[in-house]
Chain A
Amino acid sequence: MIEAVGLTKRYGDKTAVYDLSFQVRPGAVTGFLGPNGSGKSTTMRMILGLDNPSAGHVTINGYPYRRLPNAARHVGALLDAKAVHGGRSARNHLLCLAQMSGIPARRVDEVLGVVGLHEVARKRSKGFSLGMGQRLGIAAALLGDPQVLLFDEPVNGLDPEGILWVRNLMKSLAAEGRTVFVSSHLMSEMALTADHLIVIGRGRLLADMSVKDFIAANSAGFARVRTPDTEPQAREKLSAALTEAGGHVLPEQDGALRVTGLPLPRISDIAHDNDVRLWELSPHQASLEEAYMRMTQSAVDYRSTTDQKAGLQQPLPPGALPPVPVPGQGQPGWYPPPPPQQGQPYAPAQAPAGTPAANPYAQPAGQPGQQAPQAPAAPAAPPANAPSADDLTKPEDAR
């Protein structure tokens, strides 16, 4: 159990973390989310007693880290995978950490096997890839078989197989009743791994809730409706009719309409009643990534601006049109909807392809289907050559 109360950290006149209070409970993976520079790493360093808070305090099992008896056997942490002397072999790196905490040397070989580095154990860590460095850092965190684990961006630089491995490792550690606190700036990753979310931006707490609640609160579904480009008046007509029927209509960049609050069959009926032809009527789920970005957009420290390329571009020849900007680029507050073919970025790797897809628009109104992209209790994955006919009946987003 990690508990922070009014945690504040100032560096000179810059406040990195402000009045942060939260609890990280055992038996669950708690995701710690925030944009770059939002104070995640600073908070983790304060939990480990490395940085002194300017105000407030943080405890592990009721003790500040520095007074925790046998701290290294209680708490394991991966803070920075690069924090290794490049001239030292992986085994010696872990060995000196083990000796520091009074852990027997055979445990070093065990964790090297767990993270899959036993074959390069005697190689200098200088030559390690980013992914191998992350594995070495995870091995260091596991050394003391600790009850509390902290991981700062553990999947950085890992290949898909490694990401899956880390995800399962976190879940199994939590299932053993340990406290697992994982930071990331990727919502999509956390939606798959974590049970609980703590979101911060500019050092302040933005959300502290279970992933389920976060999804329910933040990912509303919508329908994309496209009328023939050749008939702008039809679009206006449909838009007015949908609004009248209680829907919320938002025009998109390319002329389509984003409709919320109406199920798909109802939209089709309204269009038919108004004698408007449709070129597209498709269900979409606003991604968690989108919800997260909306939540943190005011708290992003480093934002890209449009590249003006001043003086670098040749003047346009007379009569030529300036290039059309890509929709969404350089427009604050506009997030593109998920591309139709991509599917949900946060869908579990072992996607429950056999489960009936819950689509809010395919159900009668008044019964908002709750699509749970993160499905911890998902039924076992069907055979690899799952019925493709089943796939065809499913909305594209659920795949």
Chain B
Amino acid sequence: MAATQVVRSEWTKIRSVASTVWTLSLAAVVTIALGMLISALSKAEFDNLSTRDRLSFDPTFISFAGMSLGQLAMIVFGVLVVSNEYSTGMIRVSLAAVPQRGTFLFGKIAVATALALAVGMATSFAAFFLGQAMLGEHKASIGDDGVLRAVIGGGLYMTLIAMFSMGVAAMLRSPMLSLGILMPFFFLISSILGNVDATKKVGQFLPDQAGSKIMQVVTPIGDDTPYGPWGGLGIMALWVVAALIGGYVLLKRRDAQ
């Protein structure tokens, strides 16, 4: 009963502010457009590639190249959905209306997650098909082995990134602090840690590094990642669960301000 009320209310909250529409559209547009651009460039560069690189050529993964930027907009969406309550002071009104804090937080996250999933899936499929169109004769087909898994995985990846951001924002409360930590982390630090040899062993267990494995169809030569595509997504999901539990525990215990 209380849960359905919260879900309806959170849906009103999300659709009645412009920032939701903006961040989600930006996530879709950036992911698709950048994916198309890089697909087109890869097609032009294909003939110059070494044999080794040609064997690792993964048309599906290339069409998702825009996600490195597009995920930032997803992060902003996840952070704003939660921290708007704190930056406006609305949290006190909300928690006075719904004293069951768990119901409130998870109702909010459920609505935002459903929306992120819808947008993420649509973006992932669009990025795949438009990217493949750019790749011309090098394209992959949706019926190929593992491709459908990678495309659906792309949508799940974007959803999980948004959920992780919601959990972090629930812990940190301030939108500036949350974005100031999440944006550089996912845009720079994580990819540096995941690609530098010295830190790779640890870096590959970071949420985005592990999660993006789901979008790979062709395993690069010499890849020694200790988990598969679903294993990687599972690692990412564990991060999300940890962030949400952290957010819930803090919301439950702290004063609402």
Contact = CB atoms under 8 A, between A and B. Distances in A.
A140 B97 CA distance: 10
A266 interface: no
Contacts, number: 94
A86 B16 CA distance: 11
A345 B158 CA distance: 62
B201 interface: no
A82 B99 CA distance: 21
A90 to B, nearest CB: 11
Contacts of A89: 16
Interface residues of A, number: 34
A158 B212 CA distance: 55
Contact of B255 (A50, A84, A95): A50
Contacts of A174: none
Given A85-B17, A88-B17, A101-B5, A96 B96 contact: no
B250 interface: no
Interface stretch (B82-90, B177-185, B233-241): B82-90
Interface residues of B, number: 28
Contact of B99 (A51, A68, A79, A93): A68
Interface stretch (A22-30, A70-78, A162-170): A70-78
A83 B84 contact: no
B190 interface: no
A87 B17 contact: yes
A117 to B, nearest CB: 16
A97 interface: yes
A99 B93 contact: no
B54 interface: no
B195 to A, nearest CB: 39
A371 interface: no
A102 interface: yes
A82 B9 contact: no
B226 to A, nearest CB: 44
19 contacts: A45-B256, A45-B257, A48-B95, A49-B99, A50-B255, A50-B256, A71-B99, A80-B92, A83-B89, A87-B17, A88-B13, A88-B17, A93-B16, A95-B16, A96-B10, A98-B9, A100-B9, A101-B97, A102-B5
Interface of B: 1, 5-6, 8-10, 12-13, 16-19, 84, 88-90, 92-100, 255-257
Interface of A: 45, 48-52, 65-66, 68, 71-72, 75, 77, 79-80, 82-89, 92-93, 95-102, 140
